[in-house]
Amino acid sequence: MSGGTSLTQAVGSMFTEYDRCTSLKLKLVDCFLAYILATGIFQFLYQLAVGSFPFNSFLAGFISTVATFILTVSLRIQVNPENKKQFDVTPERAFADYIFAQVILHLVVMNFIG
Q: How far is residue 106's CA from residue 114's CA, in Å, rounded to a whole number?
A: 13
Burial class of residue 68, CB neighbours in 10 A (0-12, 13-18, 19+) = buried
Between 10 and 70, name the residue whose CB sits nearer to another protein: 70
Name the minimum Å distance from CB 37 to another protein. Answer: 12
Interface with another protein by CB under 8 A: which range of 2-10, 14-22, 46-54, 82-90? Answer: 46-54
The site map against another protein for 75-114 (x = CB under 8 A) is: --------------------x--xx--x---x--xx--xx
Nearer to another protein, 7 or 64 (CB): 64
Minimum CB–partner distance for residue 90 and another protein (Å): 13
User: Does 43 help bind another protein (rule: CB under 8 A)?
Assistant: yes
